[in-house]
Amino acid sequence: MGIVVSLDEGKRELASVQPLVDLTAASMRRVNELILSKAGSDVEMIPEIANHLISSGGKRLRPMLTLASAEMFGYRGESHVKLATSVEFMHTATLLHDDVVDESALRRGRKTARMIWGNQASVLVGDFLLGQAFRMMVDVGSLDALDILSSAASVIAEGEVMQLSAAQNLETTEDEYLAVIRAKTAALFSAAAEVGPIVASASREERTALRSYGTNLGLAFQLIDDALDYGGNSKDLGKNVGDDFREGKVTLPVILSYRRGTAEERAFWKRAIEGGSNDDAALEKAIGIMKHYSTIADTVGRARHFGEIARDALAPLKNTPQKSALLEVIDFCIDRVS
């Protein structure tokens, strides 16, 4: 593990997700078993596609949030395992549909399901996993948890449509962009963290703390993802530098560069993002402009801002190993870009 110089905090060791992984390892084994069992079907294509995504090496951050945020209150039952699995299925369903919507060829360096089994199967298996997610939630029997997760499902889809409407529109404001990622990414982080205290019968204040932590962690996570797409240590990201650019996605580094740029630069962004002139030479130029205006660094700065809110959100909770691990995850998300 290396040492990095973090400008605002002096020297510290690179943050790690490992404490969270270790603390939730036993329950994550049950989550993984449940994933395999609930993605099962006599219709062969369903487990094939589900396993393709599930085995593709995601960090499973979302289900770990659910587990830790229940276990920090001493919860020891089975409900949080079911809800964590539901959360992961909702996420997987979203990825399947997203890849269809974005016409993506690769995810985490592997062919997307749609490239192997086609768009049709990706849409339908996504629907199946969403249905299975709801069945598991119903099985848990908490109307509060159902309320939070079903609302998240609507909000996520609404956010995706919002993004589609704003797609390739360089006039998108930073506020509008934040509304999109609040819906499409932060809503599931938030729900994942809030259902933990619910099944653990924690207090309303504790629920609120974890909901706020999840929302702000999700915002930071997405902004770092956006920054990584234009550089940084992309090896743990599993996507290639420039994917967003080549898909014409309007993310924060682009929004800031467009706003801060000259007329000539704005014309470049129009051609690249709206006009599809987004080859490697254009990508190089885009990164050059971003460096000139510090828009990647400023995107990371915005992420740090939300990370700090997430940190303060957990302040009222009593100190537990889980709380420490969740705090370290904030830095881990941000350090990805160091």
62 binds a copy of itself (CB under 8 A): no
8 Å CB contact between 192 and 66: yes
13 binds a copy of itself (CB under 8 A): no
Q: Which is nearer to a copy of itself, 119 or 324 (CB)?
A: 119
> What are the residues facing 13 on neighbouring strands?
3
Return d(Cα 259, Cα 293) in angstroms, integer: 10
Dihedral, 239, 23, 153, 165 alpha carbons, nearest 10: -30
Q: Which is nearer to a copy of itself, 137 or 300 (CB)?
A: 137
Q: Say whether 60 sits in a helix, a strand or coil.
A: coil
4, 103, 121, 3: which is closest to 53 by C-alpha?
121
Q: Rounded to the nearest whole angstrom, what is the least distance from the CB of residue 111 to a copy of itself in the complex? A: 19
8 Å CB contact between 106 and 239: yes
Is residue 36 within a helix (H) or strand (E), and if so which, with residue range? helix 25-38
> Which of 100, 256, 273, 325 is close enough to bind a copy of itself by CB under 8 A?
100
Return d(Cα 331, Cα 154) in angstroms, integer: 29
According to CB under 8 A, which residues from 70 to 99 bind a copy of itself? 97
* Amino acid residing at 146: L
Return d(Cα 153, Cα 130) in angstroms, integer: 9
Q: Which is nearer to a copy of itself, 165 or 319 (CB)?
A: 165
109 binds a copy of itself (CB under 8 A): no
292, 294, 290: which is closest to 273 by C-alpha?
290
> What are the residues facing 205 on neighbouring strands?
none
312: which 2 tokens?
Answer: 């303060």
Scanning 108-116, 149-157, 205-213, 318-326 for contacts with a copy of itself by CB under 8 A, the matching segment is 149-157
Token pair 């992984």 is found at 21
Token pair 């790690």 is found at 16
188 binds a copy of itself (CB under 8 A): no
CA-atom Rg of the chain in angstroms = 20
Scanning 60-68, 76-84, 151-159, 295-303 for contacts with a copy of itself by CB under 8 A, the matching segment is 151-159
119 binds a copy of itself (CB under 8 A): yes
> Which of 27, 132, 222, 299 is close enough to bind a copy of itself by CB under 8 A?
132
162 binds a copy of itself (CB under 8 A): yes
x/- mask, a copy of itself, residues 22-61, rule CB under 8 A, reads -------------------x-xxxx---------------
> Which of 18, 120, 240, 319 is close enough to bind a copy of itself by CB under 8 A?
120
Sign, Cα dihedral of 61, 317, 181, 244 = negative
Q: Which is nearer to a copy of itself, 17 or 146 (CB)?
A: 146
Q: Which is nearer to a copy of itself, 40 or 77 (CB)?
A: 40
> Which of 101, 192, 202, 333 is close enough to bind a copy of itself by CB under 8 A?
101
Q: Rounded to the nearest whole angstrom, what is the least distance from the CB of residue 137 to a copy of itself in the complex? A: 8
Interacting residue ranges for a copy of itself, rule: CB under 8 A: 41, 43-46, 97, 100-101, 119-121, 123-125, 127-128, 130-132, 134-135, 137-139, 141, 143, 146-147, 150-151, 153-158, 160-162, 164-165
